[in-house]
Amino acid sequence: MTILKFLLGGAVAIAGAAALPSQSKASEWGCRVLLCLSGDWQGTPSCHPPIYKLIAAMEAPGFNWPTCPQANSSAARFEKYEDCPSGWQGSSEPDRPGLGQERNICRIAADRLTLPVTFMNSRLGQNHDNGSGQAQIEIDGKVVAATTQTAGNDRGHSLGNGPTYYTIPRPMRGKPWFIEYDDANGARQKSWFNLNMP
């Protein structure tokens, strides 16, 4: 594994570097964290101590993500949701107080949708009292439950001739954290991971 050789070499270089002991230890830990999180850390017992240490440290005030200078690694970032399917836009769910601007749904105008759709219940799957309805859409070979919504007036009632949109729940990532780093060839890479205890 190229990154394994690269990071192990970096860890050896750190150990022999003429740096302050605290800096050397921090860099070595950062490289171990990167090495473990770029693979299957839950299934690798030798990765448990540095990652458990990381998880505990994340709770402390003033925590800074340990980085690996030899790999030019970034601090980890968190993205809760997967990207929306091609052509769909991330959007906030309406009428859900407390969610703020969280883009937890994917939305597309009906006239832009080219995927197979099955409408549920009434004609075009719509409840004509509020312009909403239910449908099923086949996306990447999977049938996904969708809501249809026709633009309404300022009282929330359907005008009957406004644009219709489809919305689906935005998929959540199984591995919502990622780190970016330079591989042995200098190419920038992104590694996704989770911090669930094994």
- pLDDT tens per residue, range 134-162: 889 988 888 999 998 886 644 444 445 67
Position with higher pLDDT, 172 vs 119: 172
Predicted model pTM: 0.68
What mean pLDDT, rounded, does the chain reach? 80
Residues 63 and 134 in one domain: no
Average pLDDT of the segment spanning 72-100:
83
Three-state secondary structure call for residue 69? helix
pLDDT digit string, tens, across residues 169-182 = 999 999 999 999 99
Residues 113 and 185 in one domain: no
Residue 198 falls within a domain, yes or no? no
What is the widest separation between alpha-carbon atoms in the chain? 75
Residue 50 falls within a domain, yes or no? yes
Position with higher pLDDT, 49 vs 114: 49
Determine the number of helices (DSSP H) and then strands (DSSP E) in the chain: 3, 10
Distance between CA atoms of residues 30 and 51, nearest Å: 10
Distance between CA atoms of residues 4 and 58, nearest Å: 25
Cβ atoms within 10 A of the Cβ of 158, count?
A: 19
pLDDT-wise least confident of 45-49, 69-73, 129-133: 129-133
Q: Where are the beta strands (DSSP E) in 58-176?
A: 77-78, 89-91, 105-109, 117-119, 126-127, 132-139, 142-150, 164-169
Residues 118 and 96 in one domain: yes
Q: How far, rounded to the nearest angstrom, does the alpha carbon of residue 132 sit from its chain's CA centroid?
A: 29
Segments forming the whole domain that contains residue 133: 89-169
